[in-house]
Structure 1
Amino acid sequence: MLASIQLAEGEQRSYGSSLRQISTVIIAQDEEECITNAIRSCLPFADEIVVIDGGSQDATVTIAQELGCQVYHNPWRGYSEQRNFGAEKAIYDWIFFIDADEVVDQQLTTALLAWKCQPHLEANAFSALRIGDFWDKWLDTRPESHTRLYNKTVFRIKDVLVHEGPDVKDAPVIRLPGIIWHYGFRNISDLVIRFNKYTDLDAQQSHLRGDRFNWFRLLLKPPAKFVQQYLWYGMYRQGMAGFTLSVLWSYYIFLKEVKLYEIDWQMRERIKDEG
């Protein structure tokens, strides 16, 4: 395959026959408003794009098919299972995954194209920085590192309820230059709904791991999260957007802890009823 991309300076750089091939995997459900940009951002480096649809009622599937993606229907079974299902359907061993509301930038595209022709990079997993938006501001003071490219013959996505990623354990992970832009913010109401959903999963996952409710964590972790976000990560530089998001992340931690308490309480009540 011969690929050529437009660099920021206007220079054309060409890459000869690739030594590696990439299957991009996107899991989606009712994402017609954003999935077009996600797919198009992957077209320059992806040798195939696989979309796993959990049961969309909008035009998500039609859009993906019109853009040349391989679309598979799989009733929603959780983030990890959907991503592993996508990896199984993918033709190639190297999996690059993004969400439907994310976009790969030009620098990361260039890095991925170059990586495909560099056999001397021995790692089986690669990461990139992700930056999210909030009220039309990019939160570049707190980029997150996510492992997004991995060899499926070596790793699988961790079997967890939330915050899933390749189970690399202590294996080396190389950082690729460039950014994954996360257009995840729609409005406050949507964010609160998602936080409610994610904290349900987070609390359940903590309980399955053996964690139990602790007053110390409830009292200290929410304010500590605010301080971490607002001061340590420099969210104060983002004005009202930074302050609001720092408060909301503190609220996220509070919700997770009280939901863990609720799980413990429900178990005690169940045991009491059975006794």
Structure 2
Amino acid sequence: MFASAFLVNVLLATAAFAIPTSRERLNQRVARRLGLDHQSGVKVASSSDIAATGNTTHAEFSSNWSGAVLVQGSGTFKSVTGTFTIPTPKEPSGGSGTHSASAWVGIDGDTCGTAILQTGIDFTVSGTRTSFDAWFEWFPDFAHDFSGISLSPGNSITVSVVATSTTGGTATIVNHSTGQTVSHTFSGQPALCQENAEWIVEDFESGNSLVPLANWGTVTFTGASAGTSSGTVTPSGATIINMEQNGRVLTNAAASGSSVTVQYTGP
């Protein structure tokens, strides 16, 4: 999803300790896709930042993204995939109310400003209750929920996007724990640049501000790869992005071989 400078006012009324309704979660996702551009808030890591996060190369910071991004020339990336275990989201230390985050893979949205193809899982916690949503999107259209798939903490999920052209492709989510697969086919969409491949955990936006961020523990994308016209590449050596809000680094992300790990380190 774009972490872009586009903003939208989406009214969301969520009572304390209440799980958002399906309509409210849709409104959150509409807002999220028109959220903050992480490019506008990226900075090169200082030595103290590196010491705090444990990342030693390619470190950048964002107010709402954490994970790994590969950046190549236009027309490079044809597919992106990764498998992770759905976490049990928790309220951060001292937090109360509703907290959320989203884990996804995508093509574009970092250096490409025109479109993004992505799919992922939202997770929300309110008190002792949790909820999960599977979604697909080709920005600038907003995200849509998949139906026909159930989601629970501990489920093994593979998320994949494939660009069959710059204006068409597919988004697929497989729940290995239940045997369910859902997929959506796109056509006639705004053109992708195909210059970014991403594995991200995000703090998304509702209205003009980021939603309270859930503590997801650790999300690890395994079997992470991106398809190109000349073969398959892994996220090893990708640009690492950590989430920083109000001067505090909230995540520790790393990429090694075919895995991307995004650990929540906030309060």
TM over 0.5: no
* Greater helix proportion: 1
**TM-score bracket, shorter-length normalisation:** under 0.3
Greater percentage in strand:
2
* TM-score in terms of structure 2 length: 0.26
